[in-house]
Amino acid sequence: MRLSPVVAVSALLLTVPVPARAQATKGGGARMEIEPSQHDFGSARQDQKLVYDFVVKNTGTEDLTLLRIATSCGCTAALPAERVVPPGGSTTLQVTLETRKYKGALERSISVASNDRRRVGTVRVKAFVEVPEP
Domain ranges of the chain: 28-130
> Pairing state of beta strands 32-35 and 64-71?
unpaired
Instruction: Give the pLDDT score at 83.
Output: 97
- Determine the topology of domain 28-130 in CATH: Immunoglobulin-like (2.60.40)
Instruction: Give the pLDDT score at 27.
Output: 58
How far is residue 55 CA from its own chain's centroid? 8
Q: Give 94-122 pLDDT, tens digit per residue.
A: 999 999 999 999 999 999 999 999 889 99
Q: What is the mean pLDDT of residues 10-14?
A: 41
- C-alpha span between 116 and 118 (Å, rounded): 6
Instruction: Give the pLDDT score at 96.
Output: 98
Q: Give 46-90 pLDDT, tens digit per residue.
A: 999 999 999 999 999 999 999 999 999 999 999 999 999 999 999
Instruction: Give the pLDDT score at 121.
Output: 97
Residue 12 has pLDDT above 90, yes or no: no
How far is residue 39 CA from its own chain's centroid? 12
